[in-house]
Amino acid sequence: MPTALITGPTSGIGAAFARRLAADAFSLVLVSRDDKRLAETADQLRLRYGVNVEVLAADLATDEGLARVESRLRDGDPVDLVVNNAGFGHAGNFPDVPAEDEVRMLKVHCEAVLRLTLAALPGMRERDRGAIVNVASAAAFFTRGTYGASKAWVISFSEAAANAVGNPRIKIMALCPGFVRTEFHQRAAMDTSGIPGFLWLKADDVVRAGMRDLALGKHVSIPDVRYKTIVAVGRLVPRGIQARVSARIGR
């Protein structure tokens, strides 16, 4: 039975990954800093799908938390799939957000992805198989604050890592959804009233598309034809216009 480790699995895209992989008979290792929700999520998955679920309480914004997950990946039972999903947004805009909050975002979005990928790869290379999904965002393709910048790093890193490993049996992919109906925006106190209804995606659909693209060996997955079109058109638009449109829609 294969095993998947998922960060941020208690809601949104992470929870959708947990459901999908449990339905596919994966054993799960769930990583979150919220002990209570972590235990509740694990119990629900065990009851519904009858799979083994291990919980690992860790705050990925801290060195201690990152080291705990690294140790599990390096020294624990083999992990076949890592989903680096944990992430968050800020309530304010750059440059009004305190520097320590920005650094915390970079630690979760970038350093955690780097370190957990590095921790997982030796075992995958030894077994000659495995996969890593790093959840980025369609925002990475546009000039919109430090959130988009951090997710742009995730895409660049994932592509570089996949090419460096150079083994089609070890897949590394950045998943780049657009607006998804999750707790993300509420937690960041973001006003979503200006976002057109047709731009919203469902987390389960995002995961379904992402798993399909992973199986196809893609290094970057943009779920849904709407966002594929938006990203393609955005690449043709001058950066200044990009920024103005993104600023109107993004908040």
- The active-site residue, picked from 26, 141, 147, 184, is 147
Burial class from Cβ neighbours inside 10 Å (0-12, 13-18, 19+) for residue 88 reads middle
**49 is an active site residue:** no
CB under 8 A, 24+ apart: contacts of 153-159: 153/109, 153/110, 154/109, 154/110, 154/113, 155/220, 157/110, 157/113, 157/114, 157/117, 158/132, 158/134, 158/219, 158/220, 159/219, 159/220
Give the CA count within 13 Å in the CB-facing half-sphere of 52: 10
Q: Which residues pair with 180 in a beta bridge?
A: 201
Q: How far apart are CA 18 and CA 36, in angstroms?
A: 17
Q: Which residues are known to be catalytic?
A: 147
